Amino acid sequence: MATHSLQKTSAISLDKVAGTAPDLIDMYKDAETSLRESDRLGGRAAVYLVIDRSLSMTDFFNDGSVQRLSDQILSLSAHLDDDGKVPVGFFSTEMHTIARGGLLRRPQALVDVNLGAHQGRIGQLHNSLGTMGGTRYRPAMEAVIAHYRSSRAYKRGTPAFVVFQTDGAPQDAPATRDFLRSTQGENVRWQFVPFGEAEAFGVLSGLPGNTGVSAVGSDPLALSNAELYNRLVSGLPRA
């Protein structure tokens, strides 16, 4: 009897990425390698990116570290979701809201960053948001869960993979832990990506099982795409 194996494929092809966002080709290929080597290529997830906008993040915005992370996550998402976009949100003391064009369109907690319209997008959004503040995780987490629960991915049973970038421990640590515990029954993975010194993130140890930590150090630009993806994809379900 002949046996047949299903080929594990990416949600968006290399050809489409090359035609839409050619500057992301190398990141896309590196993400594919990490997914394939960890047996996660072919899996599907709704990918989110949450960005810390506390005052201490200033240098990371200015040197391009945050824009690069956004590009890396968009490239990873192209393998996991066929819509070519990643909902992105910014938080500090509270969740920032982002104005959207057109009449009767309310400000949103998360807005899409799209393939082909991604270059410089993080800087544009950051510069539109005014004063930077402190570091409270829970408002951002609540915004992500609300968005996910109203999404088609949620209705289809597709898991959410939330890349949660920060450069400091939360000022609302007990509330953060309580919220993470409350979401253990959700089909959501919280993957923290700390920028900065490791000792600042002791609060991230011992968190519930729906969380992971992929630290990148004090110089995120020095970390290769391949190494970031190797650290991130461990949080994804196997295909």
SS3 134: coil
All residues at 6 or more sequence positions from 89 whose CB lies less than 8 Å from its CB, including other chains = 48, 49, 50, 51, 95, 96, 109, 110, 111, 140, 143, 144
pLDDT given for residue 201 in this prediction: 73
Note whether 196 and 218 are within 8 A (CB).
Answer: yes
Any idea what DSSP says for residue 23?
A: G
- Cα(166)–Cα(63) distance, integer angstroms: 16
What's the whole-number mean pLDDT along residues 161-185? 93
- Cα(213)–Cα(77) distance, integer angstroms: 18
pLDDT given for residue 237 in this prediction: 84
All residues at 6 or more sequence positions from 62 whose CB lies less than 8 Å from its CB, including other chains = none
pLDDT confidence of 239, banded at 50, 70, 90? Answer: confident
**Predicted model pTM:** 0.94
Q: Provide the β-strand partners of residue 113.
A: 86
Provide the CA 214 distance to its chain's centre, in angstroms.
Answer: 12
Note whether 176 and 141 are within 8 A (CB).
Answer: yes
Tens digits of per-residue pLDDT, 58-102?
A: 999 999 999 999 999 999 999 999 999 999 999 999 999 988 765
Angle at 28 between CA 51 and CA 218, to 5 degrees: 40
All residues at 6 or more sequence positions from 28 whose CB lies less than 8 Å from its CB, including other chains = 14, 17, 75, 78, 79
Tens digits of per-residue pLDDT, 19-28?
A: 999 999 999 9
